[in-house]
Structure 1
Amino acid sequence: MAEFDINAIASTLNAAALDPDRWDHAIEAIVKATSSFGAIIFPVRGALPFVPATKSMGKAFEVYVRDGWVHRDERIIRGTNRIFRKAVLTDKDIMPEQEIRRHPYYQDFLGRTNLKGWVAVRVGVDDQVWSLTFHRTTQQDEFSAAELRNFEELSRQLASTAQIASALAFARGQAALSTFEISGKAALLLNRGGEVILANAAADRLFDEHVNISKKRLFCSDRQATDRFENGLKRLLWSADQAGVPPIALPRPGKSAVAAYLMRSFQLADTPLSTYHAIAVLVDPDARLTPDIGTLRAMLDLTPAEARLAVALQSGNDVSEASVQLHISPETARKHLRSIFAKTGTRRQADLVALISNLLPDV
């Protein structure tokens, strides 16, 4: 089949980029439209064994992961850099025919799975690049020159598909971080390679010389803790359905250890073109979380001065310490506190702190 409807295929994938529930249908539809046996969508960098694929590729993909070909895939090893320069790749673009005839990847793995024809189509631009791979069996004709030209046009049209999916994922990621920020919890968004892509303001406030971000990765001055975090992240990301891993302690000399909770971001990663695949929530046991002043004013009918005092008290200060912090006299601070007690129905600072804590959302 030398010609296929490029516009129809591009429209199908664009619809899936907008509605991730359509990805399974979309990938099956484009396999039929291109007379392929199956298709898989790989991230060009940071590939994982669990990626969208047609059901027809199930058996081959099981062998691919089980027998370790995922780490010895010559198409990835030799083709990764090439696909940034060339929109469409075939096996002949990455390896001479003579080498293909004797290479274990082609003769052992592909020979056993009855696969032969292969083409990788670049989806995306710049660093946001995925590879949409089409596969044929030994019983089918290999992709023709005319079909390869069609794939080149498809790649040009699909550049916008990746941009749509990335923009939607970015918006979702920002919303997720804002949700954690409202509750005063530090949170990081990580990509499929474990790199930190976004961090909220609460995380920035938590970072110090012992726990921070270095070279796009979460760093702890305790090397073993960093290794435990990386291993936990790998277990999480290389699992098809694992939602989280046990919390990981990140020691800080002279302070309590930060607890790092790793969670799989299914909602953010429900499209194969998503940038984000995990969330790390960092909990500082030494920090006292407090709703913002606007929340205290709205919920407890406090004046701005009363709300500021309530925040200071929630942080662990007594009235005298709070008055110094707020640059007001102790008498004024006690006057504000009496008003706060009257408005909240509390009688002790401990009761007030407990009441304020209950205003924090449970995220």
Structure 2
Amino acid sequence: MQPRLEWIGNNRLTLREWLIPRGTHGAGVFPDGRGHDALSVERGRMDDETLQRIEAQLLDAATDPAAWQAALETIARQTGAKGAALLTVKGQGPLVLPTQGMGELAQRYVADGWYQRDFRYAGVPTMRQRGWMVDQDFVTAEQMDRMDYYQEFLRPLGFGWFAGLGITTGDDLWCLTLQRGAEAGAFLDQDQRAFARLVPVASRAATLARELEFNRLDGMADAIEIMRRAAFFIDRFGKVVRMTAAAEAMVGRVIELRAGKLRLGQGGEALERHLSAAIWPELAADAAALEPVAIRRPGAHPLILRAVRLRGDSRGFFVPAVAVLMVTDLDERAPAPLPHLDALFDLTPAEVRLAGALLGRFSLVDAAAALRLTHETARTQIKSVYAKTGTGSQAELIDLLGRVRGAML
């Protein structure tokens, strides 16, 4: 019996129908008779000057994640695309850092569940081998007219044609997805010649970004180590990539580590949902998944496990760890307050207390509760602390405070 793609829609297509062998450049006439001239439109050129400008933007983005947006906008414009975004290849997740023209598409991709039905993952083997993939590698124009993915999702939003560029960082692979409007036509030979030049440039920038993020992760792990806290650093697949000595001491006693992933005897499903919500908050099943997980112990207070995303936005997508799981032992005393924060950063006494509470409990919600602050007051104070310390997130603040503690020891 021939396999079917059950999730394509009412007009289901067999694998044989849409996995159609094409030439390595997607060349030739589409099966509906339309040739290249009918599908082509005027689009940006990828000449040497343009490629150098894009490479400079990508290298800027490697050291400043905020610059990725401008780089993706330039790539979309120069390839005649309506928008661009990044997509994880291992596992199915949301579109990361979509350009301005793809805002609604990115939202619908997750909200309507299309990320679970994106059949274009079938082109990943081609992308791995060649460096990019395009629609005509695995689907015909006639089939596109019958498929729900195009008719109910892409075309009502003004999109129609796709190209995916493989971005390699070590053993990891991302897809830089380019989306054109239906009227703009497919990505053809001249476009794909530009892809051949663009893919290695993007991969070099991504590799540099990842190496820098490894250094940042090491610094954060060292800071938490100084605080003698138990912390597991988690990648986007839910695997542990770093752990502090206090966390390592828990492995095999209250927490198991199997195939790189944390496992609990009780509460395992709750921990898995909690980690998933921290890794991909856009895909969180419900608010309960955001709540910390308690591990009960006979004759002792519970351990509290809370996962925190390391960045408040999705710009740090090449990071080796996307979340940190902090383990709080309620039987242990909190670290001593940090001295001299008021003099070092001109913090008010209230801000010093909040910063110290964050070191001891790591969660802003928990810190506010311990200090008997309202959530709004805590948010106002933490924004002031960020501004005075030159940090932009709770993870960066914890990193800085850890280094301050180390210098004061």
TM-score bracket for the superposition, by shorter chain length: 0.7 to 0.9
Alignment of 1:149-164 (within 5 A): 149-164=193-208
Distance 1:267 1:199, change over 3 A: farther
Return the alpha-carbon distance in structure 2 between the equivalents of residues 168 and 46 of structure 1: 24
Which amino acid is 1:227 matched to? Answer: E
Indicate the residue corresponding to 1:144 in structure 2.
Answer: 188
Distance 1:88 1:52, change over 3 A: same
Return the alpha-carbon distance in structure 1 between the equivalents of residues 137 and 110 of structure 2: 24
Which amino acid is 1:49 matched to? Answer: P
Indicate the residue corresponding to 1:355 in structure 2.
Answer: none
Q: Which of the numbers 222, 234, 238 marks the counterpart of 1:190?
A: 234
* TM-score, reference length from structure 1: 0.72
Q: What percentage of aligned pairs have identical amino acids? A: 26
Which amino acid is 2:223 matched to? Answer: T
Which amino acid is 1:233 matched to? Answer: L
CA contact (8 A) 1:47 1:192 kept: no
Report how far residue 228 of structure 1 moved. Answer: 0.6
Q: Which of the numbers 164, 173, 184 marks the counterpart of 1:129?
A: 173
Q: Which of the numbers 256, 271, 275 marks the counterpart of 1:229?
A: 271
Indicate the residue corresponding to 2:119 in structure 1.
Answer: 74
CA contact (8 A) 2:210 2:320 kept: yes
Which amino acid is 1:140 matched to? Answer: A
Indicate the residue corresponding to 2:153 in structure 1.
Answer: 109
CA contact (8 A) 2:167 2:175 kept: yes
Question: 1:92-123 deviations in whole A, cap 9, x for unaligned?
Answer: 22335554332221222122222112111111
- Tell me the SS of whatever aligns to 1:151: helix
User: Which has more radius of gyration?
Assistant: 1
Structure 2: gaps (5+ residues) = 1-42, 337-403
Q: Which of the numbers 217, 224, 234 marks the counterpart of 1:180?
A: 224
Alignment of 1:264-275 (within 5 A): 264-266=309-311, 270-275=315-320
Indicate the residue corresponding to 1:64 in structure 2.
Answer: 109
Distance 1:96 1:198, change over 3 A: farther
Q: Aligned Cα RMSD in Å?
A: 2.8
| Stretch moving more, 261-270 or 132-141 | 261-270
Return the alpha-carbon distance in structure 2 between the equivalents of residues 246 and 288 of structure 1: 23
Report how far residue 186 of structure 1 moved. Answer: 0.9
Which amino acid is 2:248 matched to? Answer: D
Which amino acid is 1:248 matched to? Answer: V
CA contact (8 A) 1:269 1:276 kept: no
* TM-score, reference length from structure 2: 0.65
Which amino acid is 2:98 matched to? Answer: A
CA contact (8 A) 1:123 1:132 kept: yes
Return the alpha-carbon distance in structure 1 between the equivalents of residues 305 and 297 of structure 2: 13
Distance 1:277 1:151, change over 3 A: same
CA contact (8 A) 2:85 2:95 kept: no
